[in-house]
Amino acid sequence: MMSGKQKRSALDMFLDSIDGDTDCVSHSTNKTSTSTSTSCFTNEAKKYRQLASNFMSDDREDKSAALFWKCNQHSLPMLSILARKYLATPATSVPSESAFSKSAYYGRKERANINANTLSQSVFLKDKLMTEK
């Protein structure tokens, strides 16, 4: 335990590392300096921290990331772009599940002596050479 101090989160340390001026200029200006962009991002990251805490402390049952970003996309315009990009990843992938199934078949206990390299090559070849029906 830390004496008298709470352990700082990674987000707190990140926000401190990029902390700049709190003034944020409009995105309509063509000349945006790096420090101003950093300041805008810092402000938005701090605002995200506050909104996320409030969102998680609400009594609502649905606390999904999609709902959070739908509610807060206008308050956090830069982060919402990243959220749309990275939260759009599909939940499952049939090809990867198929590859794991094939590797389990090849690596079964009857083939206990197969080494990792041979197993990897066998799964790769089976996946790439197998014709779809």
Question: What is the pTM (predicted TM-score) of this model?
Answer: 0.48
Of 29, 68, 23, 28, nearest in space to 43 by CA: 23
In angstroms, the CA 47 to CA 80 distance is: 12
Distance CA 108, CA 118 (A): 13
pLDDT recorded at residue 28: 43
Distance of CA 12 to the CA centre of its chain: 18
List the chain pLDDT tens, one digit each, 133 residues: 444 567 777 777 776 776 544 445 444 444 445 566 777 888 898 899 899 889 988 888 888 888 999 999 999 999 999 888 888 766 666 767 777 777 777 777 666 677 888 878 877 787 777 645 4
